Amino acid sequence: MLETLIIQNYALIDNVSLRFDSGFTIITGETGAGKSIMLGALSLLLGERAESKAISDKTRKSVIEATFSHPDPELMSVFEEQGLEWNPAEILVRREVSASGRSRAFVNDTPVTLPVLTAVTGNLLDIHSQNSNIQLSQSSSHLSILDAFTGNAGQLAEYRADFGRYVTLRAKIRKIKERIEKNRENREFIAFQLEQLDKINPKEGELKQIEQEFDMLSDADQIREDLGCAYDSLDGSDNAVLGLLTDAEAYLGKVNLTLFEDEEADLMKRIENARIELKDIAETVSDYLDRVGSDPGRLAKVTARMNLLYDAIKRFKVADEESLVALHRDLRHKLNAIDFGDDNVTALELEARKLAKVLKAKADALTESRRKGAVEFARSLVATAIPLGMPNLQFEVELTQGKLTADGQDTAEFICSFNKNHPLQPMSRVASGGETARLMLSIKSIMARCMHLPTVIFDEVDTGVSGEIADKMGAMMKEMGHDMQVLAITHLPQVAAKGDSHFKVYKRDEEERTVSHVMRLDTELRVRELAGMLSGTEVNDAAILNARVLLGDNLK
């Protein structure tokens, strides 16, 4: 539950620190006192957009911090996925907004992104505002309400994962077909380019090879001369290195090398190794010499081929020989795809058809679960809402099947009637503001039990009702407070009297500006607050007595 809330430098609030209890908490105050400011601050913890204009003192940042005690252990999986430290006793969330509008979010003092913040706080807190009543009138929200009641989140997540893959696959197929169609328009040019490259027939690594051959053939005489001189120096003349080495070995053989610290074997072995290595070098040079020959005819062919490849690289505007070979291969593939179809498209379309069948089966399963859930949801809603002054309420969820979307194949519409013998019509057409508020409270009462939300905040959910109905709505919220923490902002004394605890929001003119404050009311202050709500500006004895009657057991 929401245990503490700190708001600093946000709109009219300079510094407020509150501690909340479990059960049903009431928040009252005059219009414009700052109740909506508190909700705005809490909305920032739910990931809403931060605006710098909400910061009153531009010399310091705005801070909104909340502590939620005893979080649901199921939330631990979210923390593990996000790499956050889990504390089974409490969760601390904070949002900081600078004067420039820059925002930072923290969970248990660890910096997080707004999506992560929302993933955490969305499981801790639900704010129901008057805008939520407007959303209830829109059929776009009806399917999500039904899904939440039905409890098919896992089933829906599995379907959406497959649907995402299907959409990606269809997009890939569409792009390939668009490319083939575009290529078809350019078929003549592609065929011409392919014909030119077929004549050239470039091969991987060919250019490097013929460049080396060109270098050898174009300078063959000089290369042969240099190799010949190198061979003569090694083994092809009287003064060659190998001959001189043999002489050195003979001279050393005449010396008793043991006189020099027994190094005879080592020194002679080194000479032998040197002779073997030099002999191998000489043979290699001789082999090079045999491979070099002056061949003007071959040189002309190599030069022509090399120039042809150079010209092709330039003409087809590619970077190098590898790119030319790749272009040749790509053009052939494009032409084959135009003339005979793309095998890849055929395989992808087959995969898409199989996935579509899987999706349809999963969509049918979702529809079936929604149909069953719709009947139970309608029954629960009617039973919950009738005591709120709607004795003739009829309610159904109308499901319609259409094409597959990310939500399945269904659209949902809440249809209802509030009068005897009247046909059921879409709720947006027949429900008044007060009826919509009562239906929404009933839905919230049902959904809160299904979703196990620890804290729900109602912002003037009782708008448009009064008297006995207001009293019953207050009783319903108090009953909800037995299973969860409920906070309600209200202007109705019948609702305010039901609270287990009561806060008042008020504003005061100070030296430089007007500042909003929040205070917890003790029993006597609650009596006077309710008396003021009952009588208006003048609080008389009759109003005080009436307030005490309304509070009843809450006076204890």
Residue 134 has pLDDT above 60, yes or no: no
**Strand order across the beta sheet in which 425-426 lies:** 394-405, 408-417, 425-426
3 state DSSP class of 501: strand
As a whole number of Å, the CA-based R_g of the chain is 43
* Residue at token pair 């911090």: 65
Helix, strand, or coil here: 390?
A: coil
Contact 443, 381 (CB under 8 A): yes
* Confidence label for 404 from pLDDT (cuts 50, 70 and 90): very high
Label residue 556 by pLDDT band (50, 70, 90).
low
What pLDDT does 262 receive?
A: 56
Top-confidence residue, 512 or 306 = 306
Report the 3 state secondary structure along 424-492. CEEHHHHCCHHHHHHHHHHHHHHHHHHHCCCEEEEECCCCCCCHHHHHHHHHHHHHHCCCCEEEEECCC
pLDDT beyond 70 at 522: yes
Structure tokens at 321: 């020989």
pLDDT tens-place string over residues 442-466: 888 887 767 667 888 888 877 767 7
- To 10 degrees, what angle do helices 467-480 and 433-451 make? 10
- Cα 367 to chain centroid, rounded: 27
- Residue 18 or residue 189, greater confidence: 18
For 52-96, how does the pLDDT look when each residue is reduced to its tens digit (9 = 90+)?
888 888 888 999 999 999 888 888 888 988 889 899 999 999 999
What are the beta bridge partners of residue 409? none
Q: Which residue has the higher pLDDT, 453 or 147?
A: 147
Buried b (16+ CB within 10 A) or exposed e, 164-203: eebeebeeebeebeeeeeebeeeeeebeebbeebeebebe
The strand order across the sheet containing 24-28 reads 110-112, 103-107, 90-97, 62-69, 2-10, 13-19, 514-520, 501-509, 24-28, 485-489, 455-459, 126-128
Segment 204-233, tens digit of pLDDT: 888 898 888 888 888 887 888 888 888 888
From CA 2, how far away is CA 496, in angstroms rounded? Answer: 19
Q: What does the pLDDT average to over 231-245?
A: 84
Q: What is the mean pLDDT of residues 141-165?
A: 91
C-alpha torsion 378→400→369→418, nearest 10: 0
Strands (E), 108-253: 110-112, 126-128
Per residue in 266-284, pLDDT (tens digit) is 778 888 888 889 899 988 8
Residue 103 · residue 411 · CB < 8 Å: no
Please give the pLDDT value at position 180: 76
First vs last C-alpha separation in the chain? 24
Positive or negative CA dihedral for 443, 445, 446, 452?
Answer: positive
Rounded CA separation 551/545 (Å): 10
pLDDT value, residue 128? 80
Q: What is the mean pLDDT of the chain?
A: 87
What integer pLDDT is reported at residue 135 of this predicted model? 59
Are 44 and 64 in contact, with CB atoms under 8 Å apart? yes
Q: How far apart are CA 105 and CA 45, in angstroms?
A: 8
- Bridge partners (DSSP) of residue 486 are 24, 456
List for the chain the helix, strand, coil content (%; round to 5): 60, 20, 25
Percent of the chain predicted with pLDDT > 90: 38
List of residues 6+ apart from 250 with CB closer than 8 A: none
C-alpha span between 17 and 364 (Å, rounded): 51
Average pLDDT over residues 430-444: 82
Confidence category of residue 341, pLDDT binned at 50, 70, 90 = low
147, 370 contact by CB (below 8 A): yes
Q: Using CA atoms, how far apart are residues 130 and 19, in angstroms rounded to an integer?
A: 25
Q: With a cut of 90, say whether residue 161 has pLDDT above it.
A: yes
User: Is residue 317 scored above 80 in pLDDT?
Assistant: yes
Q: What is the mean pLDDT of residues 356-360?
A: 95
Q: Is the pLDDT of residue 376 over 90?
A: yes
Q: Quote the DSSP letter at residue 93.
A: E
The Cα 266–Cα 273 span in angstroms is 11
| Burial profile 442-453: b = 16 or more Cβ within 10 angstroms, e = fewer | bbbbbbbeeeeb
Q: Beta strand 24-28 with 13-19: parallel, antiparallel or unpaired?
A: unpaired
Structural element, H or E, at residue 64: strand 62-69
